[in-house]
Amino acid sequence: MGAQLRLLRRRINSVKSTAKITRAQELIASSRIVRAQQRMQAALPYEREITRAVTGVVSNAASVDHPLTVAKENPARAGVLIVTSDSGFCGGFNANVLREAEALRGLLEGRGLTVLPFVTGRKGVTWHSFRQREMGGSWVGFSRKPAYADAKEIADTLIESFKDDNGIDEIHIVSTEFVSMLSQNVVVRRILPLEVEETEVSESTAIPPYFEFEPTAGDVLESLLPRYVESRIFTALLQSAASEEAARRRAMKSATDNANELMRVLTQQMNQARQAEITQEISEIVGGANALADAAAGKE
């Protein structure tokens, strides 16, 4: 019985230590998610305005003929940028992204395309390395606080491969979109080649209908489109960073609650074991006293 009590005490202490760690992780994630949301909101106006600028150029140009807007004939390879986290303790955050990336791989391979992944985050890089899958590029160390320079480095690699005749013919992004503290959705977007749609010019169009291009519209697009791709990637990284912290906070809160519940159950079991041990000791004492009393009565 004493061994059982010692075992229960060790388990309670172990669970208590785990609860302290998960609680600390929850508080850290709660403090970081606010800054992550602020950075995400601050980047949205830039993405919105550069998207309007690109749309305005394309809508007002007589013809659009740019390598980043023209789909290649008979595409053979597709690049997929997969945005994961550098660290764990965030529930199913990475598993959801990787599962969606695998679904996208199946769709692209069904079209006869060879898929080349470009991965950010140690979890995604480790996942692909363990399966010995070729990667077109990998970046780690900034999943919680991405900088624009990180997005530019990724965009330069993707655009260079897209412009190469032997490179990729399509570029897709698989990342997590931040909706709220309780909801984050995995989204898949194709960023290259751009899908150009003809739209009517309105007063809100970024470039007015009488705009004359100097130099040509193609030169303007040559400057705008790389910035456009960079902004899309940067926004995806920021959305993923905020989603990662929200997922980590939710996972750590759940782990802390489970640890507290387990401590309650173990404490109850320990109390029952202690009561059983005390009852047994009392029974032994009473039994011994009765035996002595019987022995004394027999001598008389």
For the sheet with 114-120, list strands across it. Answer: 137-139, 114-120, 77-83, 170-178, 184-192
Q: Which CATH superfamily is domain 27-198+206-252 in?
A: ATP synthase, F1 complex, gamma subunit (3.40.1380.10)
Q: What pLDDT was estimated at residue 211?
A: 57
Own/partner contacts of 19-22, CB < 8 Å, gap of 24 or more, are 19/256, 19/259, 19/260, 19/263, 22/89, 22/252, 22/255, 22/256, 22/259
Residue 221 or 23, more confident: 23
Domain boundaries, given as residue ranges, for the chain: 27-198+206-252
Q: What pLDDT was estimated at residue 48?
A: 84
User: What pTM does this model have?
Assistant: 0.80
Highest mean pLDDT (candidates 42-56, 138-152, 189-203)? 138-152
| Distance in angstroms (rounded) separating the CA atoms of residues 58 and 199 | 9
Overall average pLDDT of the 24-45 stretch: 88
Q: What pLDDT was estimated at residue 47?
A: 84
Average pLDDT, the chain: 83
Overall average pLDDT of the 143-163 stretch: 92
Residue 238 or 224, more confident: 238
Overall average pLDDT of the 170-180 stretch: 92
| Distance in angstroms (rounded) separating the CA atoms of residues 184 and 289 | 69
Cβ 225 vs Cβ 51: under 8 Å: no
Is the predicted pLDDT of residue 196 greater than 60, yes or no?
A: no
Is the predicted pLDDT of residue 135 greater than 50, yes or no?
A: yes
Q: What pLDDT was estimated at residue 199?
A: 47
Mean pLDDT is lowest, of 38-52, 63-77, 141-155, 235-249, for 63-77
